[in-house]
């Protein structure tokens, strides 16, 4: 299976009684396992990629049909399993199994992956990429930007219901204009923070630190300035005057990731910005970002996001 696009107007016009959001994301196939979240599927719909953006960051609903490689994002992330096949992720060496009552929380720039338990069973996710300012505003009593104490977040019935409401608004924004998305997100985040934040005596410690090591700042600036010319980690270490092992340790201590994953994060952000802003052909874009062919770039993009750059661009320019 592969990702396809769903036009919101089409969904709204065919909305059945007793709307099940997941039923509009997955196409039912004979060998597709069913569960409480994926009920009878409408044959007119296939796997989807839908997204909304706002001051809160970005919200995506998509069906993963393959694993994602280890990657990172510049925003904090919350991933909710909404149906389909079972899946798990790895964060900081910990295996997190998704479930209706279990979400994944990843601090910004934290390395993580996504693995389907069964290759022939796509999984539907609601993914929140939360703007740091918005998150801090929602959680101002925590202090500086929240660092999730655990990658595995328990969801009670209220949190699960809130996640479903957010998902429905992404899929059916025209029917939800009277219910602002921000209010739902604030409610959901505030509820999760109560469970995700560290105990009160420890709240002074687990904050996202400002980068104070100038060598790390130099390394990150070098990556961003040379996004189209990836530098091997050994050469990057020489640029900042460190050994390879010390540079890797510095990235892990400060960011919870590796230089390689961070560089891929920079390249991915540059790619999405270009796809959003212009209509350069994929071959030109791939070469600008240091890929030898458009096929290599498409593979990289899909392995990190779950969708191809062509599908991402079609959706963004149709939205």
Domain extent listing, the chain: 8-202, 214-318
- Tokens at 196, concatenated: 């995700």
CA distance 194 to 197: 6
Architecture of the domain whose range is 8-202: Sandwich (2.60)
Q: Fold match between 8-202 and 214-318?
A: no
Instruction: Give me the chain's average pLDDT, please.
Output: 77
**Percent of the chain, pLDDT > 90?**
42
Of 219, 214, 316, 229, nearest in space to 275 by CA: 316
Confidence of residue 319 (pLDDT cuts 50, 70, 90): low
255-259 average pLDDT score: 89
**pLDDT at res. 211:** 53
Confidence of residue 152 (pLDDT cuts 50, 70, 90): very high
> Is 39:20 a contact under the CB 8 Å cutoff?
yes
CA distance 85 to 317: 30
Secondary structure (3-state) at 185: helix
> Is 179:199 a contact under the CB 8 Å cutoff?
no
Q: 87 forms bridges with which residues in the sheet?
A: 116
Q: In degrees to the nearest 10, what's the CA dihedral of 285, 237, 147, 170?
A: 10
**pLDDT at res. 4:** 35
Say what the pTM is: 0.78
CA distance 173 to 186: 18
Long-range contacts of 51-54 (CB under 8 A, 24+ apart): 51/170, 51/315, 51/319, 52/169, 52/170, 52/173, 52/181, 54/181, 54/182
Q: 154 forms bridges with which residues in the sheet?
A: 102
> Is 290:227 a contact under the CB 8 Å cutoff?
yes
Residue with tokens 């934040």: 197
CA distance 9 to 171: 10
CB atoms within 10 A of CB 1: 16
**pLDDT at res. 210:** 55
Confidence of residue 41 (pLDDT cuts 50, 70, 90): very low
Instruction: Say if residue 232's pLDDT is above 50.
Output: yes
Q: Which residue has the higher pLDDT, 61 or 45?
A: 61
CA distance 291 to 229: 9
> Is 258:109 a contact under the CB 8 Å cutoff?
no
Pairing of strands 123-130, 57-64: antiparallel
For 115-139, how does the pLDDT look when each residue is reduced to its tens digit (9 = 90+)?
999 999 999 999 999 988 888 777 6
For 266-298, how does the pLDDT look when each residue is reduced to its tens digit (9 = 90+)?
999 999 989 988 777 899 999 999 999 999 999
Name the CATH code of domain 214-318 (choices 2.60.120.260, 1.10.357.10, 1.10.10.60, 1.25.40.10). 1.10.10.60
């Amino acid at each position: 299976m592969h990702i396809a696009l769903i036009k919101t107007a089409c969904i709204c016009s065919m909305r059945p009684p007793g709307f099940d959001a997941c039923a509009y994301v997955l196409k039912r196939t004979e060998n597709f396992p069913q569960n409480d979240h994926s009920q009878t599927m409408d044959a007119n719909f296939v796997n989807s990629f839908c997204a909304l953006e706002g001051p809160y960051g970005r919200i995506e609903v998509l069906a993963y049909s393959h694993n994602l490689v280890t990657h990172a994002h510049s925003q904090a992330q919350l991933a909710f399993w909404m149906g389909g096949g079972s899946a798990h992720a790895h964060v900081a060496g910990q295996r997190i199994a998704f479930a209706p009552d279990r979400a994944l929380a990843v601090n910004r720039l934290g390395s993580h992956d996504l693995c389907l338990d069964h290759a022939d069973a796509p999984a539907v996710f609601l993914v929140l990429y939360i703007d740091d300012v918005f998150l801090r505003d929602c959680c101002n009593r925590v202090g500086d930007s929240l660092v999730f104490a655990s990658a595995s977040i328990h969801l009670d019935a209220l949190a699960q219901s809130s996640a479903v409401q957010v998902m429905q608004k992404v899929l059916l924004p025209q029917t939800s204009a009277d219910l602002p998305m921000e209010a739902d997100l604030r409610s959901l985040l505030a509820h999760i923070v109560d469970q995700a934040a560290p105990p009160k005596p420890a709240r002074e410690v687990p904050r996202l630190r400002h980068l104070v090591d100038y060598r790390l700042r130099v390394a990150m600036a070098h990556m961003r300035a040379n996004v189209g010319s990836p530098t091997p980690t050994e050469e990057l270490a020489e640029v900042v005057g460190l050994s390879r092992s010390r540079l890797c340790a510095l990235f892990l201590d400060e960011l919870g990731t590796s230089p390689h994953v961070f560089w891929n994060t920079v390249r991915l952000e540059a790619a999405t910005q270009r796809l959003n802003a212009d209509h350069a052909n994929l071959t030109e874009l791939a070469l600008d970002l240091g890929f030898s062919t458009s096929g290599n770039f498409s593979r990289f993009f899909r392995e990190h996001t779950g969708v191809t750059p062509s599908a991402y661009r079609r959706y963004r320019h149709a939205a």
